[in-house]
Amino acid sequence: MTAAPLLEVTDLVKHFPVKRGLLVDREVDRVRAVDGVSFAVGRGETLGLVGESGSGKSTLCRAALQLTKPTSGSVRFEGREIAGLSRRAMRPLRREMQMVFQDPYASLNPRKRIGQIVAEPLRLQGVARGGELRGQALELLERVGLSSEHYDRFPHEFSGGQRQRVGIARALALRPKLIFADEPVSALDVSIRAQIVNLLDELQAELGLAYVFVAHDIGVVRHVSDRIAVMHDGRIVEQGPVDRVCEQPEDPYTKALLAAVPIPDPREARARRQTVGSG
Amino acid sequence: MSSVGASTLLSVRDLRVGFATEGGLLQAVDGVSFDLAAGEVLAVVGESGSGKSVTAQTLLGLTRSPNARIAGSVRLGGTELLDADDATLHGIRGDRMAMVFQDPMTSFNPVYRIGAQIVEAIRAHRPETSKGAAREQAVELLGSVGIPEPERRVDAYPYELSGGMRQRAMIAMALALDPEVLIADEPTTALDVTVQAQILRLLEQLNRERGLATILITHDLGVVAETADRVLVMYAGRVVEQGTLEEIFYDPQHPYTWGLLGSLTRLDRERPERLPQIGGAPPSLIDLPAGCSFRPRCPHAFGRCEELPGLDARLPDAPGHLDRCWLDPETKRGGRPQ
């Protein structure tokens, strides 16, 4: 980590107006999806963002990446303000920040071949073309544990875990410094989840990537993260080094969240139920 | 709790469910057997494609279709369900054996009030119940599953309830006719952890208070550890290991079970440098490998694994603990990861 963080988000707000009215839409209320959030991510670091459905995790990612316009607040990438930049002005920055999505079934174009999907960002950004494009796409597929025989196949021929590998290869194509991974393993089977978590770990070590790892599963977040931020009702209620937050949580919501995670150990689970029951 | 023959409510023997597809016969469930006693919670654990949901649905006759090939025996009390006619099944569904689904949003009809749907379920089986009495029962049921202000919520539409409340209402509807067996297919998977904990407590309470026998279908071993008495671990349509909760968690015999237990991210343990993972992916059910289905992914596979191991008791000290693995039990106890 260097002195200036890679990404610095300060007081970010994203409100969605609730409008009603016959001729003129009047704003009658607002949904405070993200309500004054600040955090920073250093180079090569993983920030885990944990929270339940509706806590604002996904909106926060979208607003930080300028995929939706923040209502107010500042987002600095390598010291440069990007909040409110036009699509055109954001375009070169898209190389630096990429996203991996939750649903590997919905996030790959079913009519494109795997090779095309992975090469698309390179083509759009004009990084490579022709044979070079194909070569780079093949290299990316291999890097995420797929092979050249997968290049001409379609997404429907792949399992969930393989599709998520394709999604990761696509996110890596432009050699970003930061990847927002929004619930990247929650749609996957238990035996596949560990493979993807380990792949993300390896890529980070190899490429010096920083991650914002978003998930509702605090167990997975704890495993991958250096620091954790806990979101609740649009705000970060607690953030800090992973061991501190998980072992000495301060906020009541963080405590409740940790206490609700089932313990996969019958004796310990029973012991905890009894202490909770009597206390 | 053990399944003593006398108290066995539901008995499943060599259940086989296949579906004829263009690519060939897909054997979704291949020889599943178990007994379920009153008050017992049996967890069926597996990944997508393991056959756990197809097993559950077949018990209620929900997989019947022209391309389905169903064989074996499912007996509830003295009634055989697999070849029962539709009228018999209609009488049993909801009344003696009820089901709770993963997604409460798609299991309620969105255009009818919650109460009206419960009333309809009651009156379909008990036509002598008046509408007023059925409504009172619905209010009482909603209250018993912990829905606040049940007399008001009975008139709510499904969309007006949160996910957790909707799942409670689903459970209330499943309980409406006081069934003996409840089948819960991933009942908490769509819910947040704090809500999940509440629903699990509710199921446990119902189990204790009503003596409800429960089949819990899940992929989550944490949920299993918190609720089950006995566990079936399924892989590619077959049971690979079955035993009591303690046997499965503290003396697992199948390398697939080791893999599942090992890949958990546990909050109560030090973080490992690298998460232990099971390599590869589950096989296609149309084109299963010969012998043990887990063989291609198993780090312990050897020559004999090309022959399918039976689901047998291999431990002299645990006659009810069955597994499908050729490895010598003593070698396993020494060699498996902790």
Domain containing residue B254: CATH number: 3.40.50.300
pLDDT at A125 over 80: yes
pLDDT at A92 over 80: yes
Domain that holds residue B188: 1-96+180-283+318-338
Give pLDDT, residue A28.
Answer: 84
> pLDDT exceeding 90 applies to what percent of chain B?
70
- Please, which pLDDT band fits residue B322 given cuts at 50, 70 and 90? very high
Give pLDDT, residue A275.
Answer: 74
Residue B295 lies in a domain: no
Contacts of A273 in chain B (CB under 8 A): 226
Residue B288 lies in a domain: no
Q: What is the pLDDT averaged over residues A128-144?
A: 92
Residue B72 lies in a domain: yes
Residue B298 lies in a domain: no
Question: Closest residue of A to B47, CA-based?
Answer: A189
- 8 Å CB contact between B60 and B72: no
Distance of residue B264 Cα from the nearest chain A Cα, in angstroms: 8
Average pLDDT value for chain A: 91
B260 contacts A223? CB cut-off 8 A: no
Q: Does residue A104 sit at the B interface (CB-CB below 8 Å)? A: no
Q: Are residues B73 and B191 in the same domain?
A: yes
Q: What is the pLDDT averaged over residues B241-267?
A: 93
Q: Are residues B157 and B259 in the same domain?
A: no
Q: Nearest-CA neighbor of A176 among A61, A50, A7?
A: A7
Q: Does residue B212 sit at the A interface (CB-CB below 8 Å)? A: no
Residue B108 lies in a domain: yes
> pLDDT exceeding 70 applies to what percent of chain A?
97
Q: Are residues B337 and B251 in the same domain?
A: yes
Nearest-10 crossing angle of helices B114-125, B163-175: 20
> In terms of pLDDT, which residue wins out, B336 or A178?
A178
- Please, which pLDDT band fits residue B224 given cuts at 50, 70 and 90? very high
Give pLDDT, residue B338.
Answer: 67
Q: What is the pLDDT averaged over residues B152-181?
A: 92
> In terms of pLDDT, which residue wins out, A25 or B329?
B329
Q: Are residues B91 and B191 in the same domain?
A: yes
Residue B311 lies in a domain: no
Give pLDDT, residue A46.
Answer: 97
pLDDT at A263 over 60: yes
Q: Which of B163, B178, B193 is the last residue of a domain?
A: B178
Q: Are residues B75 and B122 in the same domain?
A: no
Q: Nearest-CA neighbor of B281 among A159, A165, A168, A187?
A: A159
Q: Does residue B225 sit at the A interface (CB-CB below 8 Å)? A: yes
Q: Are residues B114 and B82 in the same domain?
A: no
Give pLDDT, residue B2.
Answer: 43
Lowest mean pLDDT among A224-228, A233-237, B143-147, B302-306: B143-147
Q: Nearest-CA neighbor of A191 among B218, B279, B253?
A: B279
Q: What is the pLDDT averaged over residues A213-241?
A: 95
Q: Are residues B215 and B278 in the same domain?
A: yes
Lowest mean pLDDT among A175-179, B1-5, B255-259: B1-5
pTM (two decimals): 0.89
Give the number of other CB atoms < 10 A from CB of residue B246. Answer: 15
Give pLDDT, residue B337.
Answer: 76
Q: Does residue A198 sit at the B interface (CB-CB below 8 Å)? A: yes
Burial code (b: 16+ CB inside 10 Å, e: under 16) for A215-245 equals bbbbbbbbbbbbbbbbbbebbbbbbbebeeb
Torsion sign across C-alpha atoms A62, A191, B215, B85: positive
pLDDT at B1 over 50: no
Distance of CA A242 to the CA centre of its chain: 17
Total domains present in chain B: 2
Q: Are residues B129 and B220 in the same domain?
A: no
- 8 Å CB contact between B100 and B183: yes
Give pLDDT, residue B4.
Answer: 44
pLDDT at A277 over 60: no
β-sheet bridge partners, residue B20? B25
Q: What is the pLDDT averaged over residues A7-29?
A: 88
pLDDT at B333 over 90: no
Radius of gyration of chain B (CA): 21
- Please, which pLDDT band fits residue A158 given cuts at 50, 70 and 90? confident
Distance of residue A268 Cα from the nearest chain B Cα, in angstroms: 9
Distance of residue B81 Cα from the nearest chain A Cα, in angstroms: 32
Contacts of B255 in chain A (CB under 8 A): none
Give pLDDT, residue A234.
Answer: 94
A264 contacts B224? CB cut-off 8 A: yes
Distance linking the first and last C-alpha atoms of chain A: 43
> pLDDT exceeding 90 applies to what percent of chain A?
71
Helix, strand, coil in percent for chain A, rounding step 5? 40, 25, 35
Q: Which of B178, B210, B231 is the last residue of a domain?
A: B178
Residue B147 lies in a domain: yes
What tens digit of pLDDT does each residue of B142-164 get?
998 989 999 999 999 999 988 88
Q: Which of B178, B196, B214 is the last residue of a domain?
A: B178
Q: Are residues B42 and B170 in the same domain?
A: no
Establish, for the pair of chains A and B, how many residue pairs have beta carbons separated by less than 8 Å: 111
Contacts of B260 in chain A (CB under 8 A): 190-191
Distance, CA of B22 to CA of B19 (rounded, Å)? 10
Give pLDDT, residue A14.
Answer: 95
Q: Are residues B124 and B173 in the same domain?
A: yes
Q: Are residues B198 and B256 in the same domain?
A: yes
Average pLDDT value for chain B: 91
Distance linking the first and last C-alpha atoms of chain B: 26
Distance of residue A72 Cα from the nearest chain B Cα, in angstroms: 29
Question: Closest residue of A to B164, CA-based?
Answer: A53
Q: Which helix (H) or strand (E) holds A32?
A: strand A26-41
Q: DSSP states of A237-268 as a string? A: EEEEEHHHHHHS--SHHHHHHHHHSPPS-HHH
Q: Does residue B246 sit at the A interface (CB-CB below 8 Å)? A: yes
Residue B252 lies in a domain: yes
pLDDT at B102 over 60: yes
Bin B215: left if φ > 0, else alpha if -120 < ψ < 50, else beta.
beta
Distance, CA of B134 to CA of B121 (rounded, Å)? 9
Query: Which of A189, A201, A263 is nearest residue B222 as measured by Cβ atoms?
Result: A263
Q: What is the pLDDT averaged over residues A249-274?
A: 90
Give pLDDT, residue A133.
Answer: 93
Give pLDDT, residue A1.
Answer: 45
ipTM: 0.83
The helix/strand count (H/E) of chain B reads as 12, 12
Lowest mean pLDDT among A136-145, A175-184, A242-251, B260-269: B260-269
Q: Are residues B90 and B146 in the same domain?
A: no
Question: Closest residue of B to A219, CA-based?
Answer: B265
